[in-house]
Structure 1
């Protein structure tokens, strides 16, 4: 995907998420999220850490080009990164990260500082910049940043659901995530299942496991080009 479009989507979605939580009453942060056993606070801490990894990767030496680069879709392959053991580690890490902040406002401000620093760093890099993920995968920076847009957008669904709010994805991020799920194609028409049309947000929530999807619905969505990604 075009690096400038990806960076624009990352900026827009991160700004939207910050605006939605920066004035949140403290008690709201401890509401349960759909990502049990995480609270809203812990989901938010998880995505803050996930976004911050970009800065850590850029601080390391650039990997030499060798072999096949992992794509954004390939990053979500069903391997040991999503095993029960890895998920357990991910849960504990988010709980520890959340506890490191004095309150929810501090966590929101921490996220705001992290995403802005990441965006500024990415804007200085050339299109061919490579990074290596913590799993050892060599990737184009632009492809890895796609996965960070997925993190902010999809976990934004989780935060909104935990708060009892309507989802709030930006058009830029929703389009990018839809294209990832549809192998580069835009979501420019409602997917119709059993006579009911899904708007883009409903499609994204179902395709990422944030709303239930029956086997019949999945089959219909796959006819429209949906490919399965392994998401936490």
Structure 2
């Protein structure tokens, strides 16, 4: 629960600190600018709010690891939902309005997470899991999107070290194997999810697992 709050707060702060002129720079998400990614985070925050008030009375069917559907084809930004995001983002006009909406909805999602009982069962995407597992799953979402946000913003702050470590640990559990100790947490996340191609030396060290791990 604490890691959810730390990763989410760090991401919201990083977006708030982006100068307006940098909102048109590309992000680490294929086909999306920084502006588009910020708009996507508004939708993510709404999803958190909706899920935390959607109780379930059946046994959990997923946890923080199995919550994620794993594919191996990196997104191109051309699927209908991804293509919708730039149009929604453009509708905000000035970056300050998008920042305001993200801060408003994002802060509410953060407060809801703090108030949630981690043992409460919630339902989302035809899965039932505890609120604690659901929020733990989102640590990797926030951390990866933080890395996406700063991909072309060299002066922006990195994600917190402990959330990077937690995100790597979750990715390794999803993969069913550990990444080499020589990989930094950031490199493990970027290479493991296909956000960066491995170097020749890294290819030799990588475990025998199908990459990239595309989480959806």
Query: Is the partner of 2:9 in helix, strand or coil?
Result: helix
- 1:30 to partner: Cα distance: 0.9
Which residue of structure 2 aligns with residue 231 of structure 1?
215
Q: 1:52-63 alignment to 2 at 5 Å?
A: 52-60=46-54, 62-63=55-56
Q: 1:1-232 alignment to 2 at 5 Å?
A: 7-60=1-54, 62-66=55-59, 69-78=61-70, 88-133=79-124, 135-165=125-155, 168-183=158-173, 191=180, 197-213=182-198, 217=202, 220-222=205-207, 229-231=213-215
CA-to-partner distance for each residue in 1:41-87, whole Å, 9 max, x for gaps? 10121122113211112233x11214x521222222237xx898997
Cα pair 1:15 1:112 within 8 Å, conserved = no
Q: Distance in 2 between matches of 1:178 and 1:226?
A: 16
CA-to-partner distance for each residue in 1:141-199, whole Å, 9 max, x for gaps? 12221232222210111111133456601123112212202229xxxx9935xxxx322
CA-to-partner distance for each residue in 1:12-42, whole Å, 9 max, x for gaps? 2222223333243322101122323211110
| Shift in CA distance, 95/147, structure 1 to aligned 2, threshold 3 Å | farther
Which runs of 5 or more residues in structure 1 are unaligned?
1-6
| Shift in CA distance, 16/26, structure 1 to aligned 2, threshold 3 Å | same
- 1:215 to partner: Cα distance: 8.6
Could you tell which deviates more after superposition, 86-95 or 44-53? 86-95
Q: Distance in 2 between matches of 1:131 and 1:219?
A: 41
- 1:207 to partner: Cα distance: 1.7
Q: Distance in 2 between matches of 1:201 and 1:85?
A: 22
Number of equivalenced pairs: 212
Which runs of 5 or more residues in structure 2 are unaligned?
none
Q: Distance in 2 between matches of 1:219 and 1:114?
A: 44
Query: Is the partner of 2:23 in helix, strand or coil?
Result: helix
Cα pair 1:132 1:138 within 8 Å, conserved = yes
Tell me the TM-score normalized by structure 1. 0.75
